[in-house]
């Protein structure tokens, strides 16, 4: 499996892009502004989109993706998400007011997009020995992370989350875990904002990593623009023994 980072920022501006990853050439994990860097042929090859939650920085490119290449494809794009996330998309995005409902275009029997609910802990087969399993997340809206498994090695992406007791027993059972991508959105001085918005600060991250029982490479995502350096300095100060690195746009992982 090859995972390419299309975007990993908590905001936009210049080279910054919000969260999205492309797995091999046929799966997206989240659909932030980074999807816009894919060319038409690359967009056309995407068969599945796995969403962590309904917030705009993770779904904003989904309407443009379907609108751009839906008519070029011979089968619908499948959007995998929690039932609550799917309901938000139906009511507030693909509602004919903000954007057309591509689950009904050109008609309900032959749509350009279809929904498939996911369940935490339920493994989905992606073919070619690949699988993806939703993991619990703790955010202000219903959310998940994802465990990507090639059979040889695994990567866990937490999605947006704060302190999350339910996550670590599942992570610690992954024998072939190689990479962990975990968010830290705010500096320690914004600890209360992180807690209220259910994100992590460096001190909260340090507490979460103490629950990790495997030796893995750790990457930090979703940092707020303008605070990258400060957040990473604080992470090194309170969680440096875990050797976390800042995730970078266009970075690639093979596992």
Determine the pLDDT at residue 231. Answer: 98
Question: Which residue has 């690195």 as its token pair?
Answer: 245
pLDDT tens string 31-55 = 999 999 999 999 999 999 999 999 9
Determine the pLDDT at residue 197. Answer: 97
Domain locations along the chain: 2-254
For the chain, list residues with pLDDT below 70: none
Residues in CB range of 123: below 8 A, 6 or more apart: 131, 132, 133
Q: Is the pTM of this model over 0.75?
A: yes
Question: Which residue has 């030796």 as its token pair?
Answer: 215
Find the radius of gyration of the CA atoms of the chain. Answer: 18
Determine the topology of domain 2-254 in CATH: Metallo-beta-lactamase; Chain A (3.60.15)
Determine the pLDDT at residue 94. Answer: 98
Determine the pLDDT at residue 124. Answer: 98
Determine the pLDDT at residue 147. Answer: 98
Q: Determine the Cα angle at 150 with ends 149 and 156, to 5°.
A: 30
Determine the pLDDT at residue 249. Answer: 96
Determine the pLDDT at residue 75. Answer: 96
pLDDT tens string 172-198 = 999 999 999 999 999 999 999 999 999
Determine the pLDDT at residue 208. Answer: 98
């Amino acid at each position: 499996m090859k995972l390419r980072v299309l975007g990993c920022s908590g905001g936009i501006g210049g080279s910054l892009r919000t969260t999205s990853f492309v797995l091999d050439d046929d799966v997206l994990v989240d659909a932030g502004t980074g999807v816009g860097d894919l060319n038409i042929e690359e967009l056309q090859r995407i068969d599945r989109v796995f969403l962590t939650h309904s917030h705009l920085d993770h779904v904003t490119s989904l309407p443009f993706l379907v609108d751009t290449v839906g008519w070029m494809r011979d089968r619908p794009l499948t959007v995998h998400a929690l039932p609550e996330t799917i309901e938000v998309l139906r009511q507030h995005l693909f509602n004919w007011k903000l954007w057309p409902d591509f689950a009904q275009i050109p008609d309900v029997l032959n749509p350009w997009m279809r929904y498939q609910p996911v369940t935490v802990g339920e493994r989905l087969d992606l073919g070619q020995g690949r699988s993806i399993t939703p993991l619990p997340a703790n955010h202000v809206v219903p959310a998940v992370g994802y465990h990507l498994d090639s059979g040889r090695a695994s990567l866990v992406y937490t999605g947006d989350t704060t302190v999350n007791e339910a996550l670590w027993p599942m992570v610690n059972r992954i024998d072939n875990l190689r990479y962990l991508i975990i968010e830290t959105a705010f500096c320690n001085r914004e600890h209360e904002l992180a807690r209220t918005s259910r994100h992590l600060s460096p001190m909260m991250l340090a507490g979460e990593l103490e629950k990790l029982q495997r030796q893995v490479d750790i990457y930090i995502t979703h940092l707020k623009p303008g605070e990258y350096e400060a957040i990473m300095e604080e992470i090194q100060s309170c969680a440096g023994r875990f050797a976390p690195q800042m995730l970078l746009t266009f970075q690639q992982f093979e596992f």
